[in-house]
Amino acid sequence: MAEEGKQEQPEQKTATGLLERVKEEIEPLKEKFQQDLKGLKQPEKTQLYRSMFRVKHDETPRSRSLGVISNVFLHLHPARVNRDAVRYSYTWGMGGISFYLFIVLTFTGILLMFYYHPTKADAFRDILYLEHDVPFGKLLRNMHRWAAHLMIITVWLHMFRVFLTGSYKKPREFNWCVGVILLVLTMLLSFTGYLLPDDQLGFWAVTVGTNMARATPLLGHEGPLGPQLGMTPFNDVRFALLGGSIVESNALLRAYIWHCIAIPVIATTFMIVHFWRVRKDGGISGPAPVMLEKEVRWDRLDESTVRGRG
C-alpha cells in the first residue's frame, strides 16, 4: 500500500504540473491568436493576400497602374488610356462585347458538350433531352444560340465603327486584316453550329450552304472547268467539307469538330494576335485630335499619319 501511495503522489504532482504547463504555454498562443485576429481585420496585409495580389490597392496612381499591369487578365490593357476613349460614343464597345460574347459562348458551349453526341442516332434526341429533362437545358441552348447571333451583329458593328473612325489606317493596317479573318471565323463558327441539332432547319441550311461549294471554280464538280479537271461529287471540295456526297453522319461529325475544337482554337489564336496588336500599334486609335488638310505633306507618299496617342 505504502508503495502504492508513494507511487500516487508523484502522479498527482505530474498531473498538476501538466495543467500548469499547458496554461503557461497557452498564454503566448492566446497572444498570437489575438494578433492573428487583428491581422484578419486587415486581410490585405496577410501573406496569402500579398502572395496573390503583390501590390497594394490604394488610390495612388502607382497602385492603380500596378493593379492593371501585374494582373494576367488585365494586362491586355495599358495602365492608362486616352481620356475620351472610355466614352461609349467612340468605340461603341463593340469589340469588347464581341470578346465577352465569345467567352459566354465558350462557357455555355462546354456545358452543352456534356449533353450532346455528334451522331445521327443521338443528336436530335439529345436536343430534345436538353430541352425537356436537363436542368436549365433550354436556357443553356437558348443562350448559346442568341449569344452567337448577337456576336455576329456586334462583330459587324465593330467593323463598321473601325471603318468610320479610319482606325485601319497606318499603323493598324495589319490588325484590320486580322479582324477581317476573325469576322469570317465568327460566321463560320456560327454556321458549323447550325447543323448540330440535326433538324430540318440546320440540315437544309447546311445543304444550301455547302451546295455552293459544288460550284467552286476548278475544285467543284459543277464549277467552271471542274468537270474538265476530273471533279465528281465524290472527290471535289464539297466532298471534303462534308466527308461524303450528302449531309450525313460524317458531315455531322466534321461540323462538330470544326465547331467545338478547330475553329475556336484558330479564332483564339487570331484573337491573341488581334489584342496584342491593338497594344503594339499604339493602343486604341482615338478619339484623336482632328488633322487639317493643309497640315499633311501631300507630296510625301510615305508621310505616315502616325501620331502620339490621343
Partner 1 sequence: MDWHQLWVILSTPDNIPIASLLLLVPFYAWYGFRQALANDRLIEQLEADPVLAKTHHRKTQPWQPHWPKEVHVWPYLLKVEFLAAIIVTAILFVWSITLNAPLEEPSNPSLTMNPSKAPWYFLGLQEMLVYFDPWMAGVVLPTLIIVGLMAIPYMDVNPLGNGYYTYKQRKFAIWAFCIGFIGLWVLMVIIGTFIRGPGWMWFWPGMTWDHNRLIFEVNRDLHDLVGITSIWGKAVFGALAVGLYFVLAGWAVHKIITLTEFSRKVYERMTLLQYLALQFFLVFMLLLPVKIVLRLLFRIKYLWVTPWFNI
Rounded least distance, CB 122 to partner 1, Å: 12
Total count of residues recorded for the chain: 310
CA distance linking residue 129 with residue 141, whole number of Å: 11
Query: Which of 89, 275, 105 minimizes the C-alpha distance to 179?
Result: 275
Rounded least distance, CB 169 to partner 1, Å: 4
CA distance linking residue 59 with residue 221, whole number of Å: 67
- Residue of the chain from 20, 27, 44, 303 that contacts partner 1 (CB under 8 A): 303
Rounded least distance, CB 17 to partner 1, Å: 59
Instruction: Please tell me the count of residues contacting partner 1 according to CB under 8 A.
Output: 116
Rounded least distance, CB 51 to partner 1, Å: 21
Rounded least distance, CB 205 to partner 1, Å: 5
- Residue of the chain from 15, 110, 225, 261 that contacts partner 1 (CB under 8 A): 225
Whether 120 and 252 have beta carbons less than 8 Å apart is answered as: yes
Ranges within 132-191 binding partner 1 (CB under 8 A): 138-139, 141-147, 149-150, 152-153, 156-157, 159-161, 163-170, 172-174, 176-177, 180-181, 183-184, 187, 190-191
Rounded least distance, CB 265 to partner 1, Å: 20
- Residue of the chain from 109, 137, 197, 264 that contacts partner 1 (CB under 8 A): 197
Rounded least distance, CB 48 to partner 1, Å: 22
Q: Which stretch binds partner 1 (CB under 8 A): 34-42, 95-103, 111-119, 265-273?
A: 95-103
Q: Is 283 exposed, middle or buried (0-12, 13-18, 19+ CB in 10 A)?
A: middle
Grid cell locating 105 = 459562348
Ranges within 57-86 binding partner 1 (CB under 8 A): 61, 64-65, 67-68, 74, 77-86
- Residue of the chain from 109, 137, 223, 264 that contacts partner 1 (CB under 8 A): 223
Whether 31 and 46 have beta carbons less than 8 Å apart is answered as: no
CA distance linking residue 196 with residue 97, whole number of Å: 25
Helices 200-214 and 173-195: angle between axes, nearest 10 degrees: 130
Name every residue whose Cβ is closer than 8 Å to that of residue 171 and which is 6 or more positions away in sequence: 281, 282, 304, 306
- Residue of the chain from 109, 198, 239, 277 that contacts partner 1 (CB under 8 A): 198
Cα–chain-centroid distance for residue 159?
19
Per CB under 8 A, 208 contacts partner 1: yes
Distances (CA, A) of 286 to 77, 85, 86, 180, 283: 15, 6, 10, 20, 9
Distances (CA, A) of 247 to 30, 85, 129, 261, 262: 74, 48, 23, 20, 20
Cβ proximity to partner 1, 18 vs 293, nearer residue = 293
Cβ proximity to partner 1, 114 vs 298, nearer residue = 298
Name every residue whose Cβ is closer than 8 Å to that of residue 192 and which is 6 or more positions away in sequence: 255, 256, 258, 259, 263
Cβ proximity to partner 1, 262 vs 309, nearer residue = 309
Cβ proximity to partner 1, 15 vs 69, nearer residue = 69
Query: Which of 264, 137, 132, 250 minimizes the C-alpha distance to 195?
Result: 250
- Residue of the chain from 215, 241, 262, 273 that contacts partner 1 (CB under 8 A): 215
Ranges within 283-302 binding partner 1 (CB under 8 A): 285-294, 296, 298, 301
Rounded least distance, CB 126 to partner 1, Å: 11
Rounded least distance, CB 133 to partner 1, Å: 15
